[in-house]
């Protein structure tokens, strides 16, 4: 109450400003504070160009914000728009300044697809301080400011036009003298415009328009001709797909990493596929893409969600589908099939109220395999969706007794850890994922009397651990680093499965070593692995088609 009275007194006695003054203050605040990373980066990129180009970046931004805020300077509308904008800009600035996050439309999709529990992992003391001091404080001040308008509306319009005209003249001046410099810098650094805050607001409306207002495409049925080829030993197949989360190729032992981040599967004879490239840099894009018929280059989300995916086509061939999840859902892939979410309710041993380690998936897998009404004698595919190495709370991805590398970064604000601590905690999470893979293999081996069993592990996208100042993932693919776009992919294929399904394992190992695969291969290769024949399958993308035993 005392704070409220204080601001009321300020409002009555001191905080009286003309609209032009407020526009200039807010424009300077946005150009100098919220866009400081962009101004600094532009200065560095332009310092070798013509004199004063590097310094002009701030003034160009300032002029653009003056024009923008002038357009919003209607009574009542101004505060309604600017106060939420200040609050969200503060949160965005923290991510940009600390993690080099770029809020383009793909990042907006990633954010909106993130559940509340996952979102809270990004909350820490530093992010709250940024939010309070850079967002809440100016928003409160703006709320209590009394805006002074000219008594004559035409005079007020004249004031605004003079301000906008001044900004336009400054833009014209910069363009007249430095257009070639800006064109050169922009052509070689096309991501710069995506760094501007609050461009996320525009991208949010753009995403909402595509998501909710575009006409929905008619549903396209695929793979109606899918048939299941018989196995040589007449046994049904039981295949497990382990979908990793945020595992990057560079830290995977089978890809040549100097550490043994795969200590548990070393004797289980995995076949690694080196240098595999992901479809996206975040889950909400990668999963629907890799389970669709489309390649990364021609992927269209609107089409992908309105046509049959890999699971649908496998089911049409007669394969039973089960999805067991520990990472925020199937992104619409398993809408037509039974989905089990591990939680305190069904796996209390491995869960808290806010987090489950991935051993809960193995416990649920064992449970489902013992239920005759769920897993019958037909062919079966079970998907285990891991929490894997999802950051920034990497230390929560594994139990303490599975920590191999110390000291580790056991905190949310990973930017305040050393590079070695971040690498240690991340590698601990990878080693624990390897432990989960080994447990799944052990579980499947016990089913070999009834099934031909096999398992494949693949990650949805990679992760940046501070290289080039980048952290986490979700960077636009066009300039995302390889740490975010290259993922581990491996296969456990017992001889019984290979023989029964006519697969040459030596050929697969050779293909795996040659590398060069991607998520584009996943859809068609899973059809090949499970022995599904359909005209939808592209044999050129099926890694098993050229490794059929003669």
Each residue's pLDDT tens digit, 456-474: 999 999 999 999 888 999 9
Exposure of 459 in the CB half-sphere (CA atoms within 13 A): 33
The tokens for 241 are: 């797909």
Predicted local confidence at residue 122, as pLDDT: 78
Task: Identify the pLDDT of residue 376.
Answer: 53
Q: Are strands 380-385 and 237-244 parallel, antiparallel or unpaired?
A: parallel
DSSP 400: G
Token look-up 């996943």 returns 522
In contact, 201 and 65? CB cutoff 8 Å: no
Distance CA 233, CA 34 (A): 65
**Looking at the chain, how many residues does it have?**
550
The owner of tokens 């999805």 is 323
CA distances from 147 to 176, 444, 525 (A): 35, 70, 64
Tokens of 195: 């760094």
Helix (H), strand (E) at residue 173: helix 153-188
User: Can you list the positions of beta strands (E) in 178-305?
Assistant: 227-228, 237-244, 271-272, 276-277
Contact 118, 328 (CB under 8 A): yes
Q: Which parts of 14-76 fold into alpha helices (H)? A: 19-29, 36-46, 53-71
Q: Say what the pLDDT of residue 208 is.
A: 74
* Residue 247 to residue 14: CA distance in whole angstroms: 55
Report how far residue 171's alpha carbon sits from residue 403's, in angstroms, rounded to the nearest whole number: 56
Candidates 209, 109, 92, 102; CA nearest to 478 is: 102
What confidence score (pLDDT) does residue 76 get? 84
Q: Helix 19-29 and helix 137-144: axis angle, to 10°? A: 180
The set of residues, in sequence order, having a beta carbon less than 8 Å from that of 148 and lying 6+ positions away, is: 16, 17, 18, 19
The Cα–Cα gap between 89 and 82 comes to: 10
Show the tokens assigned to 223: 């793979």
Between the CA atoms of 396, 398, 399 and 405, what dihedral angle is there, to the nearest 10 degrees? -100
Q: Distance (Å, rounded) from C-alpha 97 to C-alpha 94?
A: 5
Show Cβ contacts of residue 104 under 8 Å, excluding neighbours closer than 6 positions.
194, 199, 203, 476
What pLDDT score does 377 carry? 63
**pLDDT at residue number 373:** 44
Listed by start position, the domains of the chain span: 2-212, 236-547
Nearest to 194 by CA among 539, 478, 546: 478
The CA-based dihedral angle spanning residues 373, 379, 385, 386, taken in that order and rounded to the nearest 10 degrees:
100
Q: Which residue carries 């007794």 as its tokens?
A: 401
DSSP result, 284-301: HHHHHHHTSS--STT--H
**236-547: CATH number:** 3.40.720.10
Helix ranges (DSSP H) in 189-266? 199-208
CA distance 35 to 38: 5
Residues 6+ apart with CB under 8 A from 472: 99, 101, 391, 392, 463, 464
pLDDT tens, N- to C-terminus, the chain (550 residues): 444 555 555 555 557 899 999 999 999 999 999 999 999 999 999 888 877 899 999 999 999 999 999 999 988 899 999 999 999 999 999 988 888 888 877 777 777 777 777 777 778 888 999 999 999 999 999 999 999 888 888 898 999 999 999 999 999 999 999 988 888 788 778 788 888 899 888 877 777 776 777 778 899 999 999 999 999 999 999 999 999 999 999 999 999 999 999 999 999 999 999 989 999 999 999 999 999 999 999 999 889 999 999 999 999 999 999 999 999 889 999 999 999 999 999 999 999 988 999 999 999 999 999 875 445 568 999 999 999 999 899 999 999 999 999 999 999 889 889 999 999 999 999 999 999 999 999 999 999 999 999 999 999 999 999 998 889 999 989 889 999 999 999 999 999 999 999 999 999 999 999 989 999 999 999 999 999 999 999 999 999 999 986 5
**In angstroms, rounded to a whole number, what is the distance separating the alpha carbons of residues 200 and 92?**
8
């Amino acid at each position: 109450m005392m704070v409220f009275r204080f601001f009321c007194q300020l409002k009555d006695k001191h905080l009286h400003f003309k609209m032009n003054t407020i526009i200039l203050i807010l424009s300077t605040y946005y150009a100098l504070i919220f866009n400081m990373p962009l101004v600094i980066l532009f200065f560095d990129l332009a310092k070798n160009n013509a004199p004063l180009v590097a310094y002009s970046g701030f003034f160009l931004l300032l002029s653009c914000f003056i024009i923008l805020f002038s357009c919003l300077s209607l009574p009542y509308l101004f505060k309604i728009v600017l106060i939420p904008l200040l609050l969200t800009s503060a949160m965005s600035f923290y991510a940009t300044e600390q993690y080099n996050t770029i809020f383009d439309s793909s990042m907006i999709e990633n954010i909106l697809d993130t559940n509340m529990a996952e979102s809270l992992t990004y909350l820490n003391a530093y992010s709250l301080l940024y939010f309070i001091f850079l967002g809440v404080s100016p928003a409160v001040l703006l709320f209590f400011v009394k805006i002074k308008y000219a008594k004559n509306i035409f005079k007020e319009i004249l004031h605004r036009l003079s301000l906008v005209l001044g900004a336009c003249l400054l833009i014209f001046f910069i363009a007249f003298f430095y257009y070639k410099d800006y064109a050169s810098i922009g052509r070689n650094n096309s991501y710069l415009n995506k760094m501007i805050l609050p461009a996320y607001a525009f991208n949010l409306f753009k995403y909402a328009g595509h998501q909710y207002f575009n006409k929905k495409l008619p549903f396209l049925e695929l793979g109606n001709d899918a048939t299941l080829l018989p196995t040589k030993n007449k046994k049904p197949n039981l295949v497990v797909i382990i979908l990793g989360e945020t595992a990057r190729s560079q830290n995977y032992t089978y890809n040549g990493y100097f550490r043994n981040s795969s200590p548990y599967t070393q004797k289980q004879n995995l076949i690694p596929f080196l240098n595999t490239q992901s479809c996206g840099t975040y889950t909400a894009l990668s999963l629907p893409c890799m389970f669709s018929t489309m390649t990364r280059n021609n992927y269209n989300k609107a089409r992908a969600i309105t046509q049959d995916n890999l699971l649908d086509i496998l089911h049409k061939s007669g394969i039973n589908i089960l999805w067991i999840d520990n990472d925020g859902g199937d992104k619409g892939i398993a809408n037509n099939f039974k989905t089990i979410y591990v939680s305190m309710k069904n796996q209390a041993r491995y869960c808290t109220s806010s987090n489950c380690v991935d051993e809960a998936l193995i416990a649920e897998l064992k449970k489902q395999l013992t239920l005759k009404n769920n897993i019958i004698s037909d062919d079966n595919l079970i998907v285990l969706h891991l929490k894997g190495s999802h950051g920034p709370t990497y230390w929560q991805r594994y139990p303490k007794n599975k920590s191999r590398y110390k000291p580790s970064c056991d905190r949310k604000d990973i930017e305040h850890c050393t590079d070695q601590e971040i690498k240690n905690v991340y590698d601990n999470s990878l080693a624990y994922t390897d432990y989960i893979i080994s447990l799944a293999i052990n579980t499947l081996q016990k089913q070999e009397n009834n099934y031909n069993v096999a398992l494949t592990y693949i990650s949805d996208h990679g992760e940046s651990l501070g290289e080039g100042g980048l952290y986490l993932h979700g960077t636009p693919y066009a300039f995302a680093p390889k740490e975010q776009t290259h993922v581990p992919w491996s296969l456990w294929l017992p001889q019984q499965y290979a023989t029964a399904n006519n697969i040459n394992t030596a050929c697969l190992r050779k293909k795996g070593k040659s590398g060069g695969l991607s998520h584009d291969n996943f859809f068609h290769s899973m059809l090949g692995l499970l022995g599904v024949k359909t005209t939808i399958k592209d044999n050129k993308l099926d890694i098993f088609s050229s490794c059929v035993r003669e």
